[in-house]
Amino acid sequence: MKQIEEYSEKLSVLIIEDNQGDFVLIEDYLLEKFKHITIIHFKDYASSINYLQNSQEKISVILLDLHLPDLVEIELINSIIDYNFQIPIIVLTGHSDLAIAKSSLQIGVYDYLVKDEIDPAILHKTIIFAINRSGFINQLEYEKSNYENLFNFNPQPTWLLELGTLRILNANIAAQKKYGFSLDDFLKMTFIQLHPKEEEQAIKQKLISKDDESTGSHFTHFLNDGKEIKVDIYFRKINSISNNGLIVQSNDISEILNHIKTIEIQNTKLKEIAWTQSHVVRAPLARILGIINLIEMKTGNFDELLFCLKQLRVSTNEIDDVIKKIVEQTNKSKPDYF
Amino acid sequence: MKKELFIIDDDPIYRMIVSKMVEYTDSSLIINESENGRIGLAKLEDIKNSKDKIIVVLDINMPILDGWGFLDEIEKCHFYDLDELVIYLVSSSTDESDILKSKRYKFVKGFFHKPLTNEDIKTIIGSN
């Protein structure tokens, strides 16, 4: 109760009440309990709506009598709620209308007060509770719209799927752009339809059986124009009161795979070059060294020396050719985008 | 006992170098040159059951039948019942994996990198 006593924020209360006596009484109670309060008073429905639509004043709470000269009871409540002013409404009622007041709670009225039973403390408590509750509800609405924005403006294609059937319940803007399907197109599809036939089992296994182990690798997705992309798939189960679903994201890794392929081709080339170094370059070099060994063993015969020199010439030319070839090969292995 | 040397190598100059070096070291040796494993096998088959000392200097990288293929085949043919057969591997490659692979063939007596030195030649033809 301490918190309630200390309520000192600025408050604007709109009282819609045609009975002057009732109004004065409520006004007195309010002024007694709230320090910084602005009270606005209208006596009928039409002028109240007119005020709500045009006023700059931010109304904290509406106190509404159920019998106005131009509209009454449930129709009155419905009409005001339809405007969706986002202001908590507290109904003021006599004993005769108690049933209506109670049922109005189901269509969006925050609370009701029986006029004969109102005292300053009850009025004060009811208003504070209504404002607090409206704060929570607004907070929830903000959160909801924040999450909707997170979904819609996420740059990664993201879907909301029905658990089990994998029917698409929602698709964000990135998914629509990337895949070339409109939201309406997506809503007629299941997520499986994005995959080629041979991957149907695997994607079902991943998303329905949550069997991540068996499907570690990536998937193929078809875009609306028939183009194929390679994707990684991420998903989480989400729970809500109405239905359980899956939130699924795809990450296009086609380009990364292409890069990896390029690197692999280069690696193969490098291995070839290493092999060439080890075998082809070394062969004539080993021969040259062998010829020198031979000369060192026996150099007496001039003809034999000439023969050896000729062989040296052949082998050195061969090394020269090999080196030229390696340089050529190395240049070829440079990727195109360098 | 006669000694016979088989040089199996696709490089004619290298075959010439080895045979000359062997000739300078021991001119009594009979020298046979083959340009690939297939030809080498055929020549060994021709002299099967021979009691002479047969030394094979085998290159690894060759067309048609390379050194590894030669080793597999000759093992399959029970070494043509050559009692005194010694096989040495030689390669111009300095590839470590070739040396490791050669260890799988228990009957290979040694592994040399080209070029063969005077000492290598002595080891090869002087070995028992």
Gap from A279 CA to chain B (nearest CA, Å) = 5
The residues facing A11 across adjacent strands are A37
Residue B11 has its nearest CB partner, among A278, A287, A289, at A287
| pLDDT tens-place string over residues B42-54 | 888 888 877 888 8
Mutation site for A-interface testing, chosen from B11, B18, B93, B95 by largest number of A Cβ within 10 Å: B93
State the Cα–Cα distance between residues A47 and A130, nearest whole angstrom.
24
Tell whether ipTM is more than 0.85.
Answer: no
**Boundaries of every domain in chain B:** 3-126
Mean pLDDT score across all residues of chain B: 85
Contacts with A284 (C-beta within 8 Å, 6 or more apart), sequence order? A315, A316, A318, A319, A322
Residue B93 has its nearest CB partner, among A279, A288, A292, at A279
Gap from A307 CA to chain B (nearest CA, Å) = 11
Does B16 contact A311 at a Cβ distance shorter than 8 Å? yes
- A305 — contact with chain B (CB < 8 Å)? no
> In degrees rounded to 5, what are phi and psi of residue A188?
-90, 0
- A330 — contact with chain B (CB < 8 Å)? no
> In degrees rounded to 5, what are phi and psi of residue B56?
-115, 125
| pLDDT profile of chain A (338 residues), mean per 10 | 59 93 92 89 93 90 92 90 90 86 88 90 92 90 89 92 90 94 94 92 84 68 93 87 84 91 89 78 83 77 80 85 77 56
Gap from B2 CA to chain A (nearest CA, Å) = 24
What CATH number should be reported for the domain whose range is B3-126?
3.40.50.2300
Residue B94 has its nearest CB partner, among A278, A297, A315, at A278
Look up residue A72 and give its DSSP letter.
B
Does B95 contact A290 at a Cβ distance shorter than 8 Å? no
For A68, counting Cβ atoms within 10 Å of its Cβ (0-12 exposed, 13-18 middle, 19+ buried), the class is buried
